[in-house]
Structure 1
Amino acid sequence: MTESTITPTAGKPFPEFSLPDAQGQTHTLSGLHGRYVVLYAYPKDDTPGCTKEACDFRDNALLKSHGAAILGISADDAGSHADFAEKFSLPFPLLVDEHATYLKSIGAYGEKNMYGKVTEGIKRQTFLVDPDGRLVKAWLAVKVDGHADAVADAIDRDRARRA
């Protein structure tokens, strides 16, 4: 992983990661080879939008039926992730990137504008990676409502294209 920011491009290999979850288990993209991977960057544990997004991913039956690996990633620490996952019964790993190094490298951290206030932080983004490790689609300005369904639909379209 480099310090420079890349622009994820559909059809190209997605940058490898090696990050711990709340229990200290390390997750890598290459370790999920053969499965669709939904990597979603979110600003903060246990806040309204982030909670809705996590619960929508948790509850999406189509994502479950596809066997997609869902991974959340933020700069919150392991304890915060553990509390968040337990409170909302999240069945997928929340990756710890406390210094936002990986998030910065994939363009999911930087300047953002919320209601006219410009700040720097994690951008709500989602990356769908195919079973071969290539980016299928990137959502760079996620609106939470209906987002998990849109990700599941993108898997359906990619599977049909491969058939």
Structure 2
Amino acid sequence: MKPKVGDQAPEFTAKVVGGAYQDGAEISFSQLKGKPVVLVFYPKDNTPGCTIQACAIRDNWDALESIAYVFGVSVDDTKSHRKFIDKKNLPYPLLADTEQKIVQDYGVWVEKSMFGKKYMGIERSSFIIGADGKIAAVLEKVKPGAHLDQLLEALKKS
């Protein structure tokens, strides 16, 4: 079940790659203090839509970094994340949720359909978690090109 605005954010621990973190280090939600946390759930590294979304965050990183901790989250492993970061020069960290725990806790691991074939995957969504640990905003089923503007607007309100 997807957490709603006002709910306590689910705790997580995951391997992290990029940003200020040593590749393969572990980060827990409880370690992030002092400013909002943004979890950007995306389907897959190095795919067209995810690249558009990731590069928009990259191109506005200075504004985002000053107001929130921002993490991309997918079920790709740390090697895939490292390739994505290097290929697209991403300045922010990516969480490797290879066991699908975070995506399930946040309710974004859903049944999808493409060309009539059903499969499980990540629903492109972002969660803004306030410094108090509660969900401040949920951006669901966002379009890659519109995500950044929606995120910046939601951060202003939180």
TM-score (norm 2): 0.88
- Structure showing the higher strand proportion among its residues: 2
Residue 113 of structure 1 deviates from its aligned partner by 3.4
Map 1:123-162 → 2, pairs under 5 A: 123-158=123-158
AA of the residue aligned to 2:94 = L
SS of aligned partner of 2:24:
coil
Distance 1:35 1:113 in 2: 37
Give distance in 2, aligned partners of 1:124 and 1:7.
Answer: 13
Look up the equivalent residue of 1:64 and give its one-letter code.
E
How many Å apart are 1:114 and its aligned residue? 4.3
Q: Which moved more, 1:109-118 or 1:138-147?
A: 109-118
Per the alignment, residue 63 of structure 1 pairs with: 64
Q: Which residue identity is paired with 1:17?
A: F
1:12 alignment partner AA: D
Alignment of 1:33-72 (within 5 A): 33-60=33-60, 61-66=62-67, 68-72=68-72
Q: Whole-Å Cα distance in 2 between the matches of residues 131 and 119 of structure 1?
A: 35
Letter in 2 for 1:129: I
Q: Which amino acid aligns with 2:5?
A: A
CA deviation after TM superposition for structure 1 residue 127, in Å: 0.6
Distance in 2 of aligned mates of 1:24 and 1:141? 29
1:104 aligns with 2:104: yes
Query: Any idea what SS the aligned residue of 1:86 has?
Result: helix
SS in 2 for 1:58: helix
- C-alpha deviation, 1:115, in angstroms: 6.2
Contact 2:33–2:131 (CA under 8 A) maintained in structure 1: yes
Report the CA distance between 1:100 and its aligned residue: 1.1
Runs of 5+ consecutive residues of structure 2 not aligned to the other structure: 18-22
Measured at CA, do residues 141 and 28 of structure 1 come closer, stay the same or move farther in structure 2, by a change above 3 Å? same
TM, length-normalised to structure 1: 0.86
Separation (CA, whole Å) in 2 of partners of 1:139 and 1:115: 26
Deviates more, 1:11-20 or 1:113-122: 113-122
**What residue in structure 2 maps to residue 20 of structure 1?**
15
- Give 1:83's aligned amino acid: K
Q: Secondary structure at the match of 1:145?
A: coil
Deviation, 1:56, is 0.9
Looking at structure 1, the residues matched to 45 and 58 of structure 2 have their Cα atoms a distance apart, in angstroms, of 15
Task: List alignment gaps of at least 5 residues for structure 1.
Answer: 1-5, 159-163
